[in-house]
């Protein structure tokens, strides 16, 4: 698998992110979704297939990751 060039990616932060800087940024790529720590934009990024990303979003909406 080849590495993706994230240099030209358009990153966005959630509108629900607070002003404390504890945020993640997401970039929608042609064939993937990338996620990075907003405090370390030149650091590593996690890359997901669109299907895995949608599964994560749906799990979040359904409360799958809520603490009990």
Cβ contact 55:48 at 8 Å? no
Task: Check residue 14 and give its pLDDT.
Answer: 78
**More confident site: 65 or 16:** 65
Dump pLDDT digits (tens) for 5-58.
888 899 998 777 777 777 889 999 989 999 999 889 899 999 999 999 999 999
Q: Report residue 36 as tokens.
A: 């990075």
Tokens 């405090």, residue? Answer: 39
User: What is the DSSP secondary-structure string of 18-49?
Assistant: -TTS--EEEEE-SS-EEEEETT-TTS-EEEE-
CA 34 and chain centroid, separation: 5
- Binned at pLDDT 50, 70 and 90, residue 1 comes out as very low
Task: Check residue 15 and give its pLDDT.
Answer: 76
Structural domain spans, the chain: 11-61
């Amino acid at each position: 698998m080849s590495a993706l060039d994230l240099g030209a990616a358009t990153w966005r932060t959630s509108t629900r992110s607070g002003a404390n800087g504890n945020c993640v940024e997401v970039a929608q790529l042609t064939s993937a979704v990338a996620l990075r720590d907003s405090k370390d934009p030149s650091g590593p990024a996690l890359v997901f297939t669109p299907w895995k990303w949608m599964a994560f979003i749906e799990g979040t909406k359904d409360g799958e990751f809520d603490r009990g």
